[in-house]
Amino acid sequence: MMKIKIKLAVFDLDGTLLNHNGELTQQSVKALSLIKAQGVKICIASGRHTYMIQHFKDLIDLTDFIISSNGSTLMSKSFEMIHGHFIHESELTSIVDLLNTCTCSYIVYAYNKIYFKEEGDLIRNKLGKQEELMKKYEIKNCIKIVSLFHEIKNQPIEKIVLYYATNLQVERIQKWISINSINLSLEKTGDSFYSIVNEKSSKGNSVRFLSERLGITSNDIVVFGDYYNDISMFEYAKYRIVPENGIEELKMISTNICGPNSKDGVAKILMEKFV
């Protein structure tokens, strides 16, 4: 079988490259190692903030670039910023005030700081689990978690994530954005999550910027994803692969459907078509 030649491979993490336990399997490590040996640049494109990616040491070792927070930030493998689109400081206080009024559970992710209100076990438990992973893998953390809002002012704000927001809360926030903001967008980024980002932030825009920086075209790129926040990069790249567990909207515009993430679907199609 004739193998497809590419220069850049871009991978969503949750629901795509990672298995159903949120782990990178050895089969995936092997497949990534083989395409990297062919000179292919590897890029992560995740909805996760840097803080939630750092512990994947085997993956970071193989990666050339990292797109985090749904395209808000493009970084080198050493987590140095290359490019980004951020929430304007002029809008940050207003949107946070609205979230507090709506009694939403949320986290504000800045480039190197994370803010959340002290009350609420949901957020504290989420960040606590990540801290345990960092300690387990002996990862030196450069991200500071703060509980005072003024500590994240004057910081590049990548995104604000809403956890388990009700339909009424989402409608109220969307209405506020449509009336009061020209720079923000609200998008569903998980079954129970919504993200507020700069309207120019998307995985697709970051992949486009990276390809131009590398001097390659969309014809040289394969992207892998499973959810709504992957649509923008599917609209850009020539080769578009979604696992069986992905949403129908992606399957309709994909070039291939691979096996589910629970059965190393991405690794298997890499070996079949690209190695």
Per-residue pLDDT of the chain (275 residues; tens, 9 = 90+): 789 999 999 999 999 999 999 999 999 999 999 999 999 999 999 999 988 898 898 999 999 999 999 999 999 999 999 999 999 888 898 999 999 999 888 989 988 888 876 555 666 666 666 667 666 655 665 667 777 788 887 889 999 999 889 999 999 999 999 999 878 999 988 888 899 999 999 999 999 999 999 999 999 999 999 999 999 999 999 999 999 999 999 999 999 999 999 999 999 999 999 98
CATH of the domain spanning 89-198: 3.30.1240.10
| Encoded tokens for 175 | 């209405």
Letter for the amino acid at 134? M
List, in order, residues 6 or more apart from 129 with CB less than 8 Å away: none
Q: Which residue's structure tokens are 């298997």? A: 268
How do 81-84 and 65-68 pair as beta strands? unpaired
Domain boundaries, the chain: 8-84+202-273, 89-198
Please state, in angstroms and as integers, the Cα–Cα distance from residue 24 to each residue in 11, 31, 49, 143, 212, following that order. Answer: 12, 11, 17, 23, 29
Q: CA torsion sign, 134 to 123 to 191 to 143?
A: negative
| Encoded tokens for 43 | 């890029």
For domain 8-84+202-273, the question of CATH label 3.30.70.2860 is answered with: no
pTM to 2 decimals? 0.91
